[in-house]
Structures are given as structure tokens and as C-alpha cells.
Chains A and B, each alone.
Chain A
Amino acid sequence: MASAPTPPTNPYRLLGGRIPYVEGPLKVTGRAEYTDDIQRPGLLVGRLLRSPWPHARLRSIDVAAARALPGVYAVLTGDRYPIPFGVLPITHDETAIAVDASRYIGDIIAAVAARDEPTAEAALALIRVDAEPLAEHADPRMGTSKVTDPIHAKGLAGTNIQKEVVQHFGDVDAAFARARFTARVRGTFAGVTHAFTEPMATIAEATPDGRLTVWSATQVPHYLHRTLSEVLGIPMHRIRVIKPEVGGGFGGKSDPLPHEIVCAALAIETGRPVKILFDREEVFYTNHGRHPTQNEVRVAADAEGNLLAYDIEALIDGGAWSSFGTVTTYYNGVLAMGPYRVPNFRYKGRRVYTTKPPSGAMRAHGGTNIRYSIEVALDRIAEESGIDPFDLRERNALAPNSTTVNRFEITSTSFLECLSAVRKASDWDRKFRQLPYGRGIGLGCGFYISGSNSPIHFTPKMPQSTVHLKVDMDGGIAVHSMQADIGQGSNTLLAAIVAEVLGVDLERVHVQRVDSDVSPVDLGSYSSRVTFMMGNAARSAAEQLKGELITAAAGLLGTPPEEVMVGHECFETRGPPPASVPFLEVLHRAMEAKGALTASGSYQTRPKGGTFKGAKAGTAPAYSFAAYVAEVSVDVETGEYRVRKVWAGFDCGRPLNRLAVEGQIEGSIHMGLGQVMGESMNYRGSRLFNPSLLEYKIPMPQQMPEVEILLVGKDDPEGPFGAKEAGEGPLIATLPAVGNALYDAVGVRFTDLPITPDKVLRGIDRRVAERRAWKGA
């Protein structure tokens, strides 16, 4: 769908326009190389034996028969590499292969490398595991008190609680006591998963020079690099991590994953290259998707609709491991801190281990489920107070350059502009509560971090992103960085920023494949950090080169450097008389002194946030804002419904590549729609019943609403060229916009996601049984 045209004020040549992906031609021809496309001589097949038990003590594992099978090169069990790891340094509770116990159906308990798949599978079938079943823990509610057979020894005092967060700012009880309007919403959210189209794949090869090379479908090559080193006991400089093209991640490829370590271990054991490629069912078991969650939100407002307080509780089903869970537990509270002023705030969040596939980070991590409940609660307050939902939100919007009660610094925000743009475009004032029964319109809003201020890192002082540039006499500009393009278009943006600063054509810039041997560290694709941080680092590197080139150009033009400007593929002076020298000539002059030009640019956030425990969670150098309106139509006899249109008002600062920003918003809406309409990890007990793309209900093209995108952001002071994130924030508002639209359509509050047609019909039935008419029906 068309977005508003590029504002005439765009001062940039490339940025702010629609820039097709630089690697697009490779992708549309099948020439882009993904991990499974890579061939190595003598490649072995690695396969994993997975636990058929939800929870079991592993007494002994007999691999003799498997080892003896012809064609088998190695069989590994957990005792060989028992060093625990995990994405967060404070919660290392995973091992590459289960050591003493298996903790979910699908947990890895042994691994085989063999000459081909049939042999590997035959070998797996020969492994005998003597296991003693332990108590299954499927329900997180039961895990909050003392249990038999806790899943991890680390759980809070004999329970399965992995993390508990309690925060209180202001005085919530006092605020509720003086509130005129209150609303309470209890939300239940099934787990959802990334379901990227490319299954996980890793290839590893240990070579006689004592080095290990790992190709893997990962979003964060750097964390994989570190974890391989820790668990395998090999210094990082002897490990080389390469990220080929990645077929989608959405958070699911951001943890260092056990199979990546196992694959490397098998390569070391066998001395041969080994590949592990998941089948689709294994992708589902590996999960790390959005947590199944129950939350309860209470909101208080005064007579004018000013928000007084939030009181929030969340019970988060973590699955077998910690993963990003500590962050998740904080985010489920603190990501309620915008886009409104909330003077009093209380939160209690608990993440509980269960014997299910681990949950972790998924697009709009931690901000999605809580946002749904809040926006529904606001809809109730609006209804009760008779204040229009838009007016209510406008009245409470966080102002630019303000600070939240938990000390988030809000710098740029165009939230009000988002609201007014979608209100107008959707014709809200003529539709809200005025569409016929069965048709409805709803508003949902959101905000999200544009990168994390204090990420997982060696030391907080190291830059979060570094970009290297090299230009040689051919005039091509090589760009190195460990940022990980997983489809969001970061390679393209990297190239475009460099080209913009240097005034050259995009085709001069070659973004190199991520390779830890040559790419400087960038923390990779998570927390919506890439445009902001890599963008700033790239800009800084390019500015350095520009400085050198301008000096050379000044010499050639015979003018002082201050008067030299970057032109298109040249450097110019306005004169008089005006003159210009081609880029290549300037470059060659600049190279006379030192050969190829190189530059290194980096970005690090400024310290932010309070000093209380957990104060850093959710701090970011900037935040994106969203206001979405959805229009739905419901078949009131069957409960089936369609989302007809979504108006997406979004503030990502200055959109640097409109094609990519629109793509992120459309894709986010699609993914959000999936979580509202039908996607769910269907567990009975801890058994996943739908580990397939047939029974995991990703929406089809016919279900996609028309999308109208309204990009209304103003330049962010710190973002590169004024930009903020657009990769995750655009998902969040989709869910409550649909939920509130369904209410407008049929007068039923749906707080159990996904909202499948059977639930809609039950809601309508109940309303009819209670003889509560809605919009004349």
C-alpha cells in the first residue's frame, strides 16, 4: 500500500526514498546462499536424539551399538561438553546436550554424525537411554510454590520460578483510592512462535590448522561466537563464525542454540565437516517464541480521564530454559511505561520454568501481551467515562523530552501525530460505535525500544556497533560489520548510508558477508537496534572517509577544504568559478599518501536510566510509537471474522528506506494478526500438538487486511539521519486494535488469545443469553 509521499523537505539523495534491497537480485534468482546451500567436501550429516519425555532423569545412555554401526563417525552425549551456557550471562542453565535430565519433549539427549541421513537415523534408533520419569510441570501456576522434582536447581526456593520482578513507583493504592474510573483486564495468551521459513541449519568444520569454522543461520553471530568459545573451551580467535543469508529470524535465531554447539563438537570429534539441518518439527521444539502468558492489568483514571496508576501482574510460562527470560520478565512490566504518562506504577512479574520447549525473544519481545491488556483496559475506561478512545490517549500521551516514572528518557515522540493521522484517515469519528452490528472499528497503540541501552556485552564501555570501510583504487567500497541482515534490509541500509555520505552510487558499495575473522563486532539483530546503532556507526565511518577525500579534493580543486562539497560521484566547489572533480580522481589522490583508505566507525549509547534494581531494563536511546486503527466484520452466526483494513500510524523518526519500513510494518501486521486470529502453540500438558506449518495457523494472503501506512515521525535527535526502529514496534498495536474493533462489532471483550471463531461465537452467545443488546442487535 502506498504510504505518504517522501516529504519535499528530504535533504538526502538516497535516504528517505525507496531503496530496493541490494541483495534482491540474488534472492529472486535462488542465488542467495543460505546455510543449507553450502557444500563442503566430505560433509557428514548430524542428527539429534530428542527426549520423548517431558521430564526425566537420565541414568545412563548406551551408545555402543550406535557407534559400531558402519557409516557412523561420532556419537556424543551430554557429559562431553557439560559447560552450561545461555544468552544472558546471569542465567547459564542450558547445556549443549542434556547432562543429567531432559526437560521437555524434544530436548537433545544425544547426537550422531554419520555419512548420510538414513545411517544417522539408524544410529539414533540404536541408542539406549535408561531414564527415570520425573514430575511433569506443565502449568506455570503450579510452579510458583514448592514442587517435587523442580526443573532446575536454580529455581527460587524449591519452586520453578526462574525470575521474579517486583517494582513499585509512586503510590498505586492511594491512586486507586482517589480514582473516578477503574478497569481490570485479565489476559490469557497462548504461546506463539517465529515460524520463519528457513529451518535452523549449521555447518561446522575443524581444520588441521587448529581452527574451527561455523556457518550458521543466526541473528547474532557474536553471541554464537562467544558461546562456542565458552562451551568448547577454544579461544574466540581460533573460531570463525560466518553468517550466510538467513531465512528469517524474528528472535528465534538470536539465542546461541544447542545444536550449533553440538554441530561444532561433532566436527571436532570427527575431523570432518558436519551439517545439522532441522526438520520443521524440530524448529517447533526449539521454539524460543513468545511466552504463553497470563496477565492482569488494573488501570485507574480520574474524572477527566487522566491516568493515575497501573497495577500489573504477569505470570509467564518460560518453558525449560531461561533464554532471554529475565529480560522478558522485566519487559512485561516496564514496556507498559509508554506511550502514556503513568504517575503510579506497580508490577509483579514471575517467569516460571515448565517442562515445555523454551520460550524466548520474539518480535516485539515482552511488549506485546501486556500491551494488549492495557489497551483493552483503556478502551473500557473510555467507554465508562464516555471519553472517546482517541481523546483519552491524546490526553495522556507522553510529551517529547520527558521522563517516565521509572526514568525512561523519552526524547523524540510523534505519538500525537500518529493518533491524529489515523483518526482522520480511518474516518473514526463517523464510524466508532456507529457501524452496524457485526462491523466494528478499534484503536490500539504501542511503543517500543529502539535498541537496548545496556545490552549483553563484554563490558558496558565497548561500542555496541562497529563498521569498517575500505576503499581501494578500484573505487569499490567494502563494508564490514557483524550486523546481521535477516531480511529486514540492514545490508541495504548500511550501503545506502555510506553511499549517501560519500555521494556515490549504491553499486560502489559492497556489504561483505558476516565473518568474524574480518567483520568488527556489532551485536546483531535483536531489540530493534540495528538501524539506530549500526546506522550511527556506519555514518561515523563514512564521515571519516569523507574527511580524507575532501582534503584530497581541496588539493585538486585548489580551494580550502571548507569549501568542498560532496556531489554526486564527485566533489565540488561552488567557486567562483564552480568546479568539480570525479570521485575516482579524488580517491586516487587521497591514496597517494597511504594506499587504500580505511575507516572504522562505532556507536555506543550514553548511560541512561535509574539506579534501582532492574532500572536498565527497557532503557533505550530512543523509542518508536504507534497508533493503529483496525476495522473488522464478524459473521455473528459462526464467529468467523475478517480484519478488513488497518490504518497504521507509525513514528520511526525519519524512515530511511521507505520500501523496507513499509515491508516491516506490513509483515508485523501479518504476524500480529496471526497471534490474534489463530496462531498458538497448542499444548496438552507439556506436549505440543501442532508442530507443523499445517496446524500452526499463519494467516494466508486472503486474510491480510488492506494496510494504509502513515509515517508521521520527525527526526530523532540521536538516530542516524533522524531514524528510529521500525522492525518490532509495528507489531504491537495490531493486536489491541483488532481486539477493540471486535468489541465495537459485537460488544464482547475478548481477552483470551488467539481469538478463534469458537471463542467469538461463545462470547456472542453469552451476551445474547444475558439479553444485553449491542448496537441494536
Chain B
Amino acid sequence: MHLDPFELHRPRSVEEAVRLASELSGQCDYLAGGTDLLPNYKMHLNLRPHLIALEDIPELRGHSFERLGAMERLADLEGDPAFRAAYPGIQDAVGEVATPLVRASGTVGGNLLVETRCFFFNQSFFWRASLGFCLKADGDRCHVVPQKERCYATFSGDLAPSLLVLDADVEVAGPSGRRRLPLSGLYDAAGDGIRRTRLAPGELLVAVHLPPSARGQRAGYKKLRVRPSFDFPELGVAVAGRWDGTRVESLRIAVGGVETYPRRFDALTDPLAGAPLSEEALGRVASEVMRGVRPVHNTFLLPDYRRRVVEVYVRRAVREAREGSAA
């Protein structure tokens, strides 16, 4: 499987990368580890004539307790025991991404910006042409929910939920400089499902910033998939919280793998602060989360089933976080 011609650029700084992108105005993609982009390119999904490799930009690399560079390899996070101790939830999620071989190249930034997925989209050009293209690539209608406005492809990154519950921020660079926004603001709940983030064209994700409060939370990530390796999440539940004895100080729940973007359920968890968490209250929250998500039939497992498991996984993830992996 060859790739269609494109020109590869290798900027050496964030500013140079962003300038290039703005010069190429939309006719380019950033290339991080390539483990998401290159399969999509091989399938002729939304090709661009220019690729801007982020490989040579030192600023994007490395991780600390406060900052994850966008180009940090997942395998490098995985291999750091101190990081695991501080952020068990992130580590759970990292270890569940794809396969060890994919994690060796795959990056933090690429994972947060991973293309959304759908049975009608992640197919070869031949396959898609034979059925008729869809909204998300080359076509004008959706095959999952027949209409012409919105795409329902599933957000399938494992890292986002586990960073959302820690109130992570992202640092973004664009032609007019840098900005910081909460990770939750990166994903566009009101969007059309095709553009997967609120990044402006050509904007570059520089780093993820973790606030001091993120450290040492009791956190975890549970992932539903058919096989313990390779498979994208059919559901991902992240929780993080602090307890004072039995009393909840704070609790956050985020869910990915079931809708077009990952999301947090603060309205359900905020009222829990300040009191012990009873099993009924937990059960209620879990059911509310379940009721709150609307998966569609575009992945391997059926949407009804995935919703059912939301309830179970939320309960379990909270319980396990509370009991188990205290930092």
C-alpha cells in the first residue's frame, strides 16, 4: 500500500511549524507518531498535499509532573514508574492504548487529536466508493443516522477522559501566538462531529498541563473492548477523586468511546462533595451517566450494550479508585 504523493516538512520550532501551516492554509496535516494518520492516508481519507512532521521540535518532547509534551511517546510515559505513582489514572489509560508497538510511536498529542471512528469511515477508498461516500470524507450524507448535517463518528482516544478528570489544560500555538484552554474546551460538543476539536486550522497542540491539584488523586480508567489489545475503546471511563476518610472531597467522571467527543459529568458528581458516597448514590450517578450518553451503531459492539456497561464501569471505576490506587 503506497501513499499518494505529498511534501514532507520538518520544522525545528513550534513557531516555524505554525508559520508553515498558515502558509499552506489548510492544505496540510501535522504528523506526530503517524499511527493514526498514516493508516487513514493509506485508506485515502482526507488527504492533504503537505505533511508537517513534528519530530524535530524539541519543545514538544518530554514529560514532567506538570507538563506532557505533545510529542511525548506513550511508551515513554508508560516506562516511568514515578509518573505512574503520581498519575495512576493516566497510566491505566496509556497502557490500554492500541498495542505496545503502536505506543512506541504514538504520542500524547496524537492521541488527544485522534481521528474519530466509524465503520463507514475507517474503510478503504474502494469500500467507501462502493457504498457511496459519507459526510466525513468525500460525501454528503451520513450512513449511521441518515441526514446531511452531522457526523456521529465515535471519539476513540483513550487518554482524553483520564486527563479530563484531572482538569488538564492544553497549550496551543497558532499564527497569532499561544493560548491555553481547558482540555474540555478542546472538544467541540456543539460541533458537526466532523471537525473533531475547536482548534483553528493550522493550530498546533504544544503540551498538556496538569494543575497541582491533579497529583496524587485516586484515579483509574476502565476500557471496554473485545480484545485486551489492538482494539479502540468501545467505552472508556475515567475517574479521579479525593477522599477524606469516607467523605468525598471531589470526584470527577469522564466518558469516552461512546459519542463524538469525550465528556465530563460534573453536574452529577459536584453534589457528591462533602459527604460519604453511599452505594445508592453511586448507583444513581452511574445510571445517570448511562442515561446521559447516546452511542450509535458504528463500532463493533452494539450501542445498547455499550450503554449498559457504562453504568457498570462507572460504578466499578469509582469504587476501585476509592479503595485501590491511592497515590
Contact = CB atoms under 8 A, between A and B. Distances in A.
- Assess A/B contact in the complex (Cβ within 8 A): yes
Contacts of B2: 117-118
Interface stretch (B7-15, B124-132, B133-141, B265-273): B124-132
A105 interface: yes
A691 B124 CA distance: 9
Given A697-B300, A758-B301, A53 B230 contact: no
A694 to B, nearest CB: 6
B289 to A, nearest CB: 15
A393 B129 CA distance: 53
Range, interface on chain B? 20 to 34
A690 B118 CA distance: 11
A678 B126 contact: no
B211 interface: no
Contacts of A50: 126
Interface string B86-126: 00000000000000000000000000000000010001101
Interface stretch (A255-263, A613-621, A698-706, A726-734): A698-706
Contacts of B127: 281, 691
Interface in B215-237: 224, 226-231
A17 interface: no
B284 interface: no
A701 B230 CA distance: 12
Contact of A756 (B129, B226, B228, B308): B226
Interface in A41-82: 50, 52-53
Nearest to A105: B130
Nearest to B98: A694
A281 B300 CA distance: 17
A279 B308 CA distance: 37
A690 B124 CA distance: 11
Given A281-B126, A678-B226, A702-B229, A756 B301 contact: yes
B288 to A, nearest CB: 18
B126 A758 contact: no
A637 B302 contact: no
B308 A697 contact: no
B32 to A, nearest CB: 20
A757 B227 CA distance: 11
Given A52-B130, A638-B312, A281 B124 contact: yes
Interface in A392-418: none
A408 B228 CA distance: 44
A124 to B, nearest CB: 10
Contacts of A52: 126, 129-130
Contact of A694 (B131, B230, B305): B230
Interface in B195-217: none
Nearest to A762: B305
A130 interface: no
A695 interface: yes
| Chain A contact residues, majority secondary structure | loop
Contacts of A639: 305
Contacts of A279: 1
Contacts of B309: 638
Contacts of A362: none
B114 to A, nearest CB: 14
Interface string A652-672: 000000000000000000000
Interface in B263-322: 300-302, 304-305, 308-309, 312-313
Contacts of A687: 130-131
Range, interface on chain A? 20 to 34
B130 A695 contact: no
A683 interface: no
A689 interface: yes
B119 A689 contact: yes
A703 B228 contact: yes
Contacts of A678: 226-227
A49 to B, nearest CB: 10
Nearest to B301: A758
A761 interface: yes
A703 B229 CA distance: 10
A268 B120 CA distance: 39
Contacts of A698: 227
Nearest to B5: A118
Nearest to B3: A118
Of the listed residues A105, A691, A695, the one surrounded by the most CB atoms of chain B closer than 10 A to its CB is: A695
Given A700-B227, A702-B228, A695 B312 contact: no
B227 A761 contact: no
B312 A637 contact: yes
Given A678-B227, A689-B119, A694-B230, A757 B1 contact: no
A553 B224 CA distance: 70
Interface string B1-45: 110000000000000000000000000000000000000000000
A98 B68 CA distance: 55
Given A52-B130, A105-B130, A117-B2, A695 B300 contact: yes
Given A53-B130, A279-B1, A281-B127, A761 B308 contact: yes
Contact of B227 (A105, A638, A689, A697): A697
Contacts of B129: 52
Contacts of B229: 700-702
Nearest to B126: A50
A357 to B, nearest CB: 13
Contacts of B1: 279
Nearest to A759: B305
A757 B305 contact: yes
Contact of B228 (A682, A689, A700): A700
Interface in A600-641: 637-639
A561 B82 CA distance: 77
Interface in A127-181: none
A699 B225 CA distance: 12
Given A53-B130, A281-B127, A700 B230 contact: yes
A639 B224 CA distance: 11
Contact of A697 (B130, B226, B313): B226
A638 B129 CA distance: 37
B21 to A, nearest CB: 27
A678 B124 CA distance: 23
B110 to A, nearest CB: 17
Interface string A272-303: 00000001010000000000000000000000
Nearest to A51: B130
Contacts of A689: 119
A697 B232 CA distance: 12
Contacts of B308: 638, 761
Given A756-B301, A757-B305, A758-B301, A694 B126 contact: no
Contacts of A703: 227-228
Nearest to A696: B300
A281 B39 CA distance: 13
A684 to B, nearest CB: 9
Contacts of B227: 678, 697-700, 703
A118 B4 CA distance: 8
A761 B305 contact: yes
A639 B313 CA distance: 12
A765 B166 CA distance: 36
Interface in A25-50: 50
A281 B127 CA distance: 9
Nearest to B39: A694
> Which 3 A-B residue pairings sit nearest by Cβ, starting from the closest?
A52-B130, A758-B305, A702-B228
11 contacts: A50-B126, A638-B308, A638-B309, A638-B313, A639-B305, A690-B119, A691-B127, A756-B226, A757-B301, A758-B304, A761-B308
Interface of B: 1-2, 119, 123-124, 126-127, 129-131, 224, 226-231, 300-302, 304-305, 308-309, 312-313
Given A638-B308, A698-B227, A700-B228, 10 more contacts: A52-B129, A53-B130, A638-B224, A638-B312, A638-B313, A694-B231, A703-B228, A758-B301, A758-B304, A761-B305
Interface of A: 50, 52-53, 105, 117-118, 279, 281, 637-639, 678, 682, 687, 689-691, 694-695, 697-703, 756-758, 761
